[in-house]
């Protein structure tokens, strides 16, 4: 029987995630490092939405030596994998995890967890599982909990604007896999079958322009795209920046 996984867990075996994602997506480490670099190193509080196996959390913990990181993920398997890595790296006293759906956090009447405030919020490769309506609700919630001057940076795949660009992005990913000594087909053979879970479903990509509109409408200012590589972009902004 095929094991079903949650949207975003990607691989049937959690242990395949860290190597598999680096073959599947071009420049995975670079995109996470770029998100991290956008977070001020003197941040005291950072939320990591959809922490997965903890790769972004680890980079933030290293970059922000005084930060307490609150990681959120609805997958116990991913969180436990992250916890083992964070503990092994000696950061367990500065990393705390919530098992929960970040869509529920954004609609707090549905969830037992409430988060009052944070100086920064980051996310990598997770929010694209929400509907556009929920993306906007999530961005509004993030804007509402950010302290004045606080920032939000998200890296996600974006919807290609034309079929020609979709082909370009596909070719880039095929070439990347070949450079890693594999093929997309071989990596995809390890991908699990997911069923909708909570607020998340299959990939629900929006264009970069649509994301920027959502951020604006959610109340962010100084909205920016500090990094982009073909079909992947980092976007976000600040609230109450003077």
Given the rule CB under 6 A, which residues bind ligand SAM? Answer: 6-10, 21, 50-53, 55-56, 72-75, 78, 101-103, 124-126, 129, 198-200
| Least Å from the CB of residue 16 to ligand SAM | 12
- Picking from 83, 69, 230, the residue whose alpha carbon sits closest to that of residue 164 is 230
Q: How far is CA 137 from CA 52, 55, 220, in A?
A: 21, 26, 13
| Least Å from the CB of residue 240 to ligand SAM | 26
Q: Whose Cβ is closer to ligand SAM: residue 108's or residue 148's?
A: 108
| Least Å from the CB of residue 52 to ligand SAM | 2
Q: Whose Cβ is closer to ligand SAM: residue 21's or residue 239's?
A: 21
Q: Distance between CA 241 and CA 41 in Å, rounded?
A: 17
Q: Whose Cβ is closer to ligand SAM: residue 11's or residue 220's?
A: 11
| Least Å from the CB of residue 98 to ligand SAM | 9
Q: How far is CA 15 from CA 1, 53, 82, 189, 225, in A?
A: 20, 9, 11, 15, 32
Q: Distance between CA 196 and CA 205 in Å, rounded?
A: 15
Q: Distance between CA 13 and CA 16 in Å, rounded?
A: 6
Using CB atoms within 10 Å of the CB of residue 102, give its burial: 0 to 12 exposed, 13 to 18 middle, 19+ buried.
Answer: buried
Nearest residue to ligand SAM, by Cβ distance, number only: 52
Q: Distance between CA 200 and CA 237 in Å, rounded?
A: 23
Q: Whose Cβ is closer to ligand SAM: residue 10's or residue 146's?
A: 10
Q: Whose Cβ is closer to ligand SAM: residue 55's or residue 169's?
A: 55
Contact between 224 and 34 under an 8 Å Cβ cutoff? The reply is no
| Least Å from the CB of residue 129 to ligand SAM | 4
| Least Å from the CB of residue 90 to ligand SAM | 20
Q: Whose Cβ is closer to ligand SAM: residue 43's or residue 73's?
A: 73
């Amino acid at each position: 029987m095929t094991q079903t996984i949650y949207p975003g867990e990607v691989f049937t075996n959690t242990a395949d995630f860290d190597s598999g994602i680096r073959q599947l997506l071009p420049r995975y480490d670079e995109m996470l490092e770029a998100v991290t670099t956008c977070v001020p190193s003197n941040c005291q509080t950072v939320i990591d939405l959809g922490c997965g196996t903890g790769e972004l959390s680890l980079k933030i913990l290293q970059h922000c030596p005084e930060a307490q990181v609150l990681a959120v993920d609805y997958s116990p398997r991913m969180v436990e994998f992250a916890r083992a890595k964070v503990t092994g790296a000696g950061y367990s006293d500065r990393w705390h995890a919530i098992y929960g759906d970040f869509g529920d956090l954004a609609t707090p009447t549905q969830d037992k967890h409430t988060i009052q405030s944070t100086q920064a919020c980051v996310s990598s490769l997770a929010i694209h599982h929400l509907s556009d309506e929920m993306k906007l609700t999530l961005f509004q919630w993030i804007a509402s909990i950010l302290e004045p001057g606080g920032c939000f940076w998200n890296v996600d795949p974006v919807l290609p604007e034309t079929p020609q660009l979709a082909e370009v992005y596909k070719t880039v990913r095929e070439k990347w896999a070949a450079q890693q000594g594999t093929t997309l087909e071989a990596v995809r053979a390890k991908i699990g079958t997911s069923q909708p879970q909570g607020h998340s479903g299959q990939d629900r990509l929006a264009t970069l322009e649509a994301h920027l509109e959502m951020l604006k409408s959610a109340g962010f200012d100084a909205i920016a795209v500090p990094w982009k590589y073909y079909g992947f972009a980092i976007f976000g902004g600040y609230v109450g920046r003077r």
